[in-house]
Amino acid sequence: MSFALEASGITKSFPGVRANDHVNFAVEHGEIHALLGENGAGKSTLMNILYGLYQPDSGEIKIDGQPVRITSPHDAIDKGIGMVHQHFMLVSPLTVTENIMLGQESLVPGTQALQQLARLDHHKVAGRVRELSKQYGLEVEPDAVVQDLAVGAQQRVEIIKALYRNANILILDEPTAVLTPQEADELFIIMRTLVGQGKSIVFITHKLREVLASADNISVMRAGKMVGSVRPADADQNKLAEMMVGRNVLLQVDKAEARPAGTVLTVKGLQVFDDRRHMAVNDVSLEVRAGEIVGIAGVQGNGQTELAEALTGLRPVAGGHIYMLERETSHATPRRVIESQTSHIPEDRQKHGLVLSFSVRDNMALCTYYQPPFAQGLEIDFSAIDERARELVERYDVRTPDIMTSVGSLSGGNQQKVIVARELTRPVKLLIANQPTRGLDVGSIEFIHQQIVNARDNGAAVLLISAELDEIMSLSDRIAVMYKGRILETLEAKDAVREQLGLLMAGVMKDGMHV
Amino acid sequence: MSVFMDRLRSGLIRNRGWVTVLLGLFGLVAIWALLNLVIGGKCEQKCVIDTLAQTLRQVTPIAFAALCGVICERSGVINIGIEGMMLMAAMVGYAFNLLVFQLLKDSLGVETAGNVSRIVAMLMGVLSTVLLAWLHAVVSIRFKVDQVISGTVINILALGFTGYIYRQFLAQNVPAGPGTFPLVSIPFLSSIPFIGPILFVQKPLTYIMLIAVFFIHYMLFYTPWGLRTRAIGEHPRAADTLGVDVIRMRYINVLWGGVLAGLGGVWFTLEAVDVFNPGMTNGLGFIGLAAMIFGKWTPIGSLVGAIIFGLGSSVTATISIFRPDIPSQFPQMLPYILTIIILTGVVGRAISPAASGQPYEKQ
Amino acid sequence: MSNIPVARANFSWRRLAGDFWQLIKMPALAIILAFAVGVVVILLTSRSLTTVGEAYYGLLRGALFKQRGFSETLVATIPYIFLSLAVAVGFKTGLFNIGVEGQYTIGSVCAAWAGVAFSGLPAIIHLPLVLLAGALGGAAWAALPGYLKARTGAHEVISTMMMNYVAFRLAEFLVDGPLRDPLSSGVQTSAISPAAELWKLSAYPARLQDPLNALMVALVAALLVIVLARALLKSSRFAARMQSAARRRSLYIGAGLLVGVLCFVALPPLSKAWWPFTDPYDRLHSGLFLAVLAAVGVWWLLWKTTLGFELRMVGANPSAARYAGVSITRSIILSMAISGALAGLAGTIEVIGVSICGCLPLIFSSGYGWDSIGIALLARNNPFGILAASLLFGAMRNGADLMELNSGVSKYIISLIQALVLLFVSAPAIVRWVYRIKAAPKQEDDAKLTTGWGGPL
């Protein structure tokens, strides 16, 4: 019996790195096959090859036992492979129907001859979308504009887009990254339905828990090589983690008991609008004391970004108050926030945290270039900045050929280290860390977790915002769950139970009532 | 209350095309009031009709420039070289008009030769801008040069080239040409009172412009070409994964944009006046871009924007006639100041197609 | 564990030369290619090889070798330097200031006014006043579009372009109206006071006889020496030896004072006795020093000061700049203002340095504006590169007259060649393709200009 999809000996190199090294990968018909690996292991590369976005340097791909060559996504689609990317391939201002028919447009009968000038037949496509929606239990509204849809709905549109093109093999890249645990469960139900109707599914993830819960087969990749395949029944989290990283991984951060002191940050009734003028932060109150880590759990898109931006002066506060050590900072500029000894590790390191074309040295001084000893008045003393940068690169083990190298050429982990070095080596009273380990390899994650704990132990108040529940649970002393702009509940970390947090993240309160 | 405001806001945003049109019409009325204020009601019906007809003529190059901008930017390519393109088309059109006329006037007779020469001139002018558009496309799409710089290069190249050819060949001893396109009066429609003389007694390029606006609107929102164009300007990678050839579409669309810019350029020397002066486009290419932004990258919205600016120009001219006591320079400043005001006061934020300005990298 | 290699390995002249060649390789090849295309164009339009030779020979002679050729080249270079610096400052902040021509115009009008309005004041006050007026005029003219961009996102390409046309009309009105010279038959402003003029190099001996003028020169010289000495002291090995900052300060201030006194006392009689520039028809003026000073000033501003760091940050990544505490609004407005001031100074200098009548005639677009954008791009926004590139463009502009006289080829071919230079410089890939060169590793520091049309940052 042939496999639905079989890849053998796939090798792909990019300048300086071998992303895939003689990888063998096979998916049986009707199975849910998880591809596991940490960031940078090569899973996305493999999938992109299967989807025709990259061409392998060598190796063979077979579909239903027949060797095929996939030269473009169009090819892949023709051969029945559909992919749902981590960052959706949806054109925001267009409707669901328009997105689905893009590239394969239905034309109003009679106008076909005009080809590219013919009239689009929205009606027909919308009808087919509704059919598929019912068949697979994927709820979508054909005439909705994509940018108005929630993330989960957008994901369903992506899936229907693949099914519309008769995909038999569906590849899902980190599908649960943007979903609540409950939405993730719904997705797994959908996956079972699809598989029950004859489809085969590959999903890429780095989350051990869901892999064990929902996959039929697990393949683990590490550093470009396929380490092996196991059935969930034969493995546990520790074994998988070891396969992923190659050594015993500290799944839990080693930290001492917290010793909180006075309150540093007080937020009262905060209200903040997002870019679309919706209330993203809706009456949030919280407190963070020196020497403790408060973790805000929640799926992205529930106002955490706007909360962090409001706290750091990057977004105007519409209502409520923020107090930093008794002083009101509700309308402080980012500079004043920095000067009140607040450090901020931003969510998007390349957009907000670094100037990619500047050197490592310049980025080390990004927030402090105007203060002594770096500058007296107008003039900058670059020798002082040089010295400091060298020291920090050494201390934080930033892998860079030189401090004058542009920071854009560093790896993600090293870029984040630059930011962490910069933010934690000033006097810190309040640290706001927003998704600090997103997209990083395990080594960097461990390092940064340690730095955050150290900051706490040195007396800083730490506000940690993360969509990774594991990270929140292992680092926080207290946990607050944010849902649709509100803090639903705040509890001590030691009292927190995973399932309960998951429910809160989906808006289900203790008494079972949905918010 | 806030729910109402939210609904109002999203309703406005959803129908932003119409909102823009309405606001534009409001702007027109405001300008009208200004005109009457300044010249004290001395403008009778004939004067009004003449001003409006003149306005539509002025609108033509601006609208073409805006349409060129719309197509290019909707595809994801910023084109600030429209000014240079129009200038090039103006010169080439002028030169070929003279040339072909001189060649043919003896064999075909003055009138036929004139018609032929004007049409040939128009085609050659358009060809010249298509070449410039091709250059812009190659430099910014293939060589991935910053699109603003690439557009600037086009402008400088056009300035230099037209200046050179003009001084070398066209400044002195120029034989008489056949003149510009004549007014064409559409038989039945031009007799409609008031609207007739304004809309239906115009030169050919103006008619082409009006047709083009509505045609491109249809194309952009109702056809596969339009869907794909909008997609490649917003999220080229998404379109790419679905099989749309992003690079090829961008090239072709920029070339079509060149056609439109060419039509706008030949207006200067084949419809407006019968001479070529270096730099005669006088910023209308940039005003066209402002009209495009005003119109939120839609053809009809851009037309409304162009009308506002065109009205500014013709109001200027009318004011100068009726009020010779005002130094002519101040009314002349009006269109430009108007552009700046419109640019800053556009409804909401002008959000351009998301991927415009970014070269597309196939992996 | 250190992963930083030993810094600054042995210095070598060969390495320096190699680095220098890397720096100018692409622009140089682009220029050669552009001139080659120019040859083709001239051939096509004149169908004669001799015309090509005559043209380029005339160009060269006119730019360099004919009598006063080089000094005329320098005269043409000076406004290019200021305008290109203006454009470059904008570019570094991510702003495309096409409005330099308009700011130039406004600057010249303000200078023409100030030159007349404050007549009677001695040069030591009047000259700086006029310079200030021109700079402020240009700065204000540019700051407005800057403010609009910062607040409403109005793209500066369009708004500065519009401001250009408004400026031309406004200048036309003023020159023909309120500022018009009642005594002259031409349409021009009244002649400025001689005290406001920028001294020609040949006029120094005469000017220096006035003690106030000598004082002005002495002050300027003293200031320059102070700045220079301070910079040298900071970077040299002496710095380590000098124990305290106070001692260092007294050293360079002392040096400055010494030079100042020397100048005041010795220069006037010395210059009367011997002075290298004696040709009274030579138009080269002190604006040259101002231009070089401006280049150094811009370099210092952008790469050595906190303000410059902020401007470059905003140009490279406005989001990160906001995060780091930089006020984007302030940066945009300041950048445009500085840019406008430089452009305004260019206009000022044309009035007070070059103008024959000491006035501002009815001028039309000079074309300097577009060229200076080309120069800024050619020099990659580096102030010293701008000095070199401006010299090239100035030479071409100056030589073009003789070229036309010599060969009949219209001097506008220069515009064409300049456009080609710009094309080849901005698309290095084209040059590489023509010359079959391999691509060098990317290490650009170019600010992003195409940030879309709308939305405040």
Chain A contact present for C240, CB below 8 A? no
The CA angle C130-C134-C140, to the nearest 5 degrees, is 140
Which pLDDT score is estimated for B2?
Answer: 63
Residue C444's pLDDT is what? Answer: 43
pLDDT at B271 over 90: no
How does pLDDT run across C396-406, given as a tens digit for each residue?
888 888 888 87
Residue type, A21: D
Scan for tokens 């005559």, then name that residue: C54
Which of these ranges, A194-198, A329-333, C309-313, C363-367, has the smallest mean pLDDT? C363-367
Which chain C residues contact residue A380 at CB under 8 A? 304-306, 309
Given a cut of 60, whether residue C453 has pLDDT beyond it is: no
Asked if residues B129 and C381 have their Cβ atoms less than 8 Å apart, the reply is: no
The rounded mean pLDDT for chain B is 84
**pLDDT of B347:** 45
Using 50, 70 and 90 to split pLDDT, how confident is the model at C6?
very low
Place of tokens 């004058």: A404
What is the reported pLDDT for A345?
94
Pairing state between β A319-324 and A200-205 = unpaired
Residues of A in Cβ contact (< 8 Å) with B354: 92
Res. A249 pLDDT band, cuts 50 70 90: low
In this structure, are strands A200-205 and A32-36 parallel, antiparallel, or unpaired? parallel
Give the gap in angstroms from C-alpha A465 to the nearest C-alpha of chain C. Answer: 17
In a domain, C386, yes or no: yes
Q: What is the predicted pLDDT for the residue at C445?
A: 44
Tell me whether residue C240 is exposed, middle or buried, using C-beta atoms within 10 angstroms of its C-beta: 0 to 12, 13 to 18, 19 or more.
exposed
What mean pLDDT do residues A15-31 have? Answer: 86
For chains A and B, count residue pairs whose Cβ atoms are closer than 8 Å. 78
Q: Integer distance in angstroms from the first to the last C-alpha of chain A?
A: 50
Distance between CA atoms of residues C201 and C286, nearest Å: 6
Which range (A472-476, B51-55, C83-87) has the least confidence?
Answer: B51-55
Q: Which of A252, A259, A220 lies closest to A239, judged by CA?
A: A220
Paired tokens of A344: 């901020």
User: Rounded to a whole number, what is the distance in Å from the CA of C4 to chain A's nearest CA?
Assistant: 6
CB–CB contact B363 A54 (8 Å): yes
pLDDT band at A375 (very low <50, low <70, confident <90, very high): confident
A353, A369, A399 ranked by CB distance to C320: nearest: A353
To test the contact with chain C by mutation, choose from A276, A333, A350, A355 the residue with the greatest count of C C-beta atoms within 10 A, namely A355
List chain C residues with CB under 8 Å of B327.
Answer: 173, 177
Domain carrying residue C57: 24-200+282-448
Tokens (6 digits) for C311 = 């401007």
Chain A residues 333-352 with a CB less than 8 Å from chain C: 333-335, 337-339, 344, 346, 351-352
Least confident of A54-63, C140-149, C187-196: C187-196
Contact A342, A430 (CB under 8 A): yes
C52-74: pLDDT as tens digits: 888 888 888 888 888 788 888 89
Q: What is the pLDDT of residue B40?
A: 65
- Cα separation, C390 vs C33, in Å, equals 18
- Identity (one letter) of the amino acid at A123? H
Note if the pTM is more than 0.95: no
Asked whether residue C402 is domain-assigned, the answer is yes
Residue pair A102/A125 in contact (Cβ under 8 Å)? The answer is no
Name the least confident of A50-59, A440-449, B192-201, B336-345. Answer: B192-201
Contacts of A154 (CB under 8 A, 6+ apart): A88, A90, A146
CATH number, domain at C45?
A: 1.10.3470
State the residue for tokens 């600010």.
C447
pLDDT at C240: 60
Distance CA C24, CA A154 (A): 51
> Which of A413, A10, A443, A23 shows the shortest CA–CA distance to A246?
A443
Give me the pLDDT at residue B72, please.
95
Residue B69's SS3 state is helix
Give domain B54-343's CATH architecture. Orthogonal Bundle (1.10)
The pLDDT value recorded for residue C11 is 60
Helix (H, G, I), strand (E, B) or coil at A282: strand
Spatial separation of the C-alpha atoms in residues B81 and B297, rounded to whole Å? 17
Worst-scoring range by mean pLDDT, A187-191, A429-433, C132-136? A187-191
Looking at chain A, the whole-number percentage of residues with pLDDT higher than 90 is 38
The pLDDT-based confidence of A170 (bands split at 50, 70, 90) is very high
Tens digit of pLDDT for each residue in B168-178?
787 777 777 78
Give mean pLDDT, residues A447-471: 91
CB B82 within 8 A of CB B69: yes
Q: CA-to-CA distance for A121 and A143, rounded, in angstroms?
A: 13
At C442 the pLDDT is 44
pLDDT of residue C45: 77
Considering the domain boundaries, does residue C151 fall inside one?
yes
**DSSP summary character for residue B174:** P
Share of chain B above pLDDT 90, in %: 33
Q: How many residues does chain C have?
A: 457
What is the pLDDT at residue B226?
92
What value does the mean pLDDT of chain A take?
A: 87
- Give CA B188 to chain center in angstroms: 28
Q: Residue B139 and residue C430: Cβ atoms within 8 Å?
A: yes
Paired strand residues for A58: A11
Distance from CA of B256 to the nearest CA of A (A): 14
DSSP state of A250: -
To the nearest whole percent, how much of chain A has pLDDT over 70?
A: 97
How many C-beta atoms lie closer than 10 Å to residue C42's C-beta?
A: 25
A116-157 tens-digit pLDDT: 778 888 889 999 999 999 988 888 899 999 988 888 889 999
First-to-last CA distance in chain C? Answer: 42
pLDDT given at position A480: 93
Q: Per-residue pLDDT averaged across A65-89, rounded?
A: 89
Q: Does B166 touch chain C (CB under 8 A)?
A: yes
3 state SS for chain C? CCCCCCCCCCCCHHHHHHHHHHHHHHHHHHHHHHHHHHHHHHHHHHCCHHHHHHHHHHHHHHHHHCCCHHHHHHHHHHHHHHHHHHHHHHHHCCCCCCCHHHHHHHHHHHHHHHHHHCCCCCHHHHHHHHHHHHHHHHHHHHHHHHHHHHHHCCCHHHHHHHHHHHHHHHHHHHHHCCCECCCCCCCEECCCCHHHCCCEHHHHHHHHCCHHHHHHHHHHHHHHHHHHHHHHHHHCCHHHHCCCHHHHHHHHHHHHHHHHHHHHHHHHHHHHHCCCCCCCCCCCECHHHHHHHHHHHHHHHHHHEHHHHHHHHHHHCHHHHHHCCCCHHHHHHHHHHHHHHHHHHHHHHHHHHHCCCCCCECCCCCCHHHHHHHHHHHCCCCHHHHHHHHHHHHHHHHHHHHHHHHHCCCCCHHHHHHHHHHHHHHCHHHHHHHHCCCCCCCCCCCCCCCCCCCCCC
Q: Which residues pair with A271 in a beta bridge?
A: A282, A319
pLDDT in tens, B120-133: 999 999 999 999 99
Would you place residue C441 in the very low, low, confident or very high pLDDT band (cuts 50, 70, 90)? Answer: very low
For residue B20, pLDDT beyond 50: yes
Residues of A with CB under 8 A from a CB of B: 48, 51, 53-54, 72-74, 77, 83, 85, 88-94, 98-99, 101-105, 107, 114-120, 277-278
Per DSSP, the three-state class of B353 is coil
Q: What is the mean pLDDT of residues A316-344?
A: 91
B282: left (phi over 0), alpha (psi -120 to 50) or beta: left
What is the DSSP code (8-state) at residue A145? B
Domain boundaries, chain B: 54-343
Instruction: State how far the Cα of B294 lies from the Cα of C15, in Å rounded to an integer.
Output: 54
pLDDT at residue number A107: 81
C48–chain B Cβ distance below 8 A for any pair: no
**pLDDT interval class at C50 (50, 70, 90):** confident
For A21, which DSSP code?
E
- The segment with the largest mean pLDDT, out of A174-188, A219-233, B83-97, is B83-97
Q: Is residue C246, in this structure, part of any structural domain at all?
A: no
Q: Do C410 and B329 touch (CB under 8 A)?
A: no
Q: What pairing do the DSSP bridges indicate for beta strands A461-466 and A293-297?
A: parallel
Cα B130 to chain center, whole Å? Answer: 15
Other CB atoms within 10 A of residue B50 CB? 16
CA separation for the pair C407, C402 (Å, rounded):
8
| Average pLDDT of span C86-95 | 94
pLDDT of residue B327: 80
Residue C7 pLDDT greater than 50, yes or no: no
Average pLDDT over every residue of B197-220: 89
Query: Going from the N-terminus, what domains does chain A have, and what CATH number goes with each?
Result: 5-245 (3.40.50.300), 250-341+427-515 (3.40.50.300), 356-426 (no CATH)
pLDDT score of B348: 47
Q: How far apart are CA C76 and CA C80, in angstroms?
A: 7
**Per-residue model confidence (pLDDT) at position C439:** 55
pLDDT at C242: 61
Asked if B254 contacts B278 with a C-beta cutoff of 8 angstroms, the reply is no
Q: Does C46 touch chain B (CB under 8 A)?
A: no
How high is the pLDDT of residue C190?
79
The per-residue pLDDT for B296 is 84
Q: In what order do the strands lie in the sheet with A217-222?
A: A81-84, A169-173, A200-205, A32-36, A217-222, A225-230
| CB-based contact B9:A277 (threshold 8 Å) | yes
pLDDT greater than 90 at residue B9: no
Q: Which residues of C348-372 are buried (b: 16+ CB within 10 A; e: fewer)?
A: bbbbbbbbeebbbbebebbbbbbbb
pLDDT tens per residue, range A420-453: 999 998 889 999 999 998 888 778 888 899 999 9
* Residue among A355, B48, A138 nearest C315 (CA): A355
With cut-offs at 50, 70 and 90, classify the pLDDT of residue B38.
low
Mean pLDDT of C318-342: 94
Q: If we measure between CA atoms, which residue out of C381, C367, C346, C360 comes closest to residue C103? A: C346
How many structural domains does chain C have? 1
Cβ within 8 Å of C, A 374-413:
375, 377-380, 382, 390, 393-394, 397, 399-403, 406
pLDDT for the residue numbered C443: 40
**Residue C225 counted as domain residue:** no
User: How far apart (Å, rounded) are the C-alpha atoms in residues C91 and B237?
Assistant: 29
Residue C231 lies in a domain: no
Cβ contacts of A242 within 8 Å, gap of 6 or more: A248, A249
Q: How far apart are CA B181 and CA B274, in angstroms?
A: 10
| Rounded mean pLDDT, C140-151 | 93
Chain A closest CA to B21's CA: distance in Å? 20
Neighbours of A481 (CB within 10 A): 27
Identify the closest residue of chain B to C98 by CA–CA distance: B152
| Mean of pLDDT values over B51-74 | 91
Q: What is the pLDDT of residue B122?
A: 94
Pairwise CA distance, residues A266 & A44, whole Å = 42
Two tokens, residue B58:
């002025």
Chain C residues close to A354, C-beta within 8 Å: 317, 320
Sole residue written with tokens 């050919």? B204
pLDDT greater than 80 at residue B36: no
What is the reported pLDDT for C5? Answer: 42
Q: How far apart are CA B234 and CA A365, in angstroms?
A: 35
Pair C255, C263: CB distance under 8 Å: no
Q: Residue C457: is its pLDDT beyond 50?
A: no
Report pLDDT for A478: 93
Give the pLDDT confidence score for residue A39 in this predicted structure. 74
| Per-residue confidence band for A513, with pLDDT thresholds at 50, 70 and 90 | low
By the CB < 8 Å criterion, does C365 face chain B? yes
B296 close contact with A: CB closer than 8 A: no
Which of C307, C325, C443 is facing A406, going by the closest CB pair?
C443
Segment among A468-477, B6-15, B71-80, C311-320 with least mean pLDDT: B6-15
Adjacent-strand bridge partners of A490: A480
Percent of the residues in chain C that have a pLDDT greater than 90, as a whole number: 29
Q: Which of A210-214, C336-340, C435-439 has the lowest mean pLDDT?
A: C435-439
Question: With a cut of 0.90, is the ipTM above it?
Answer: no
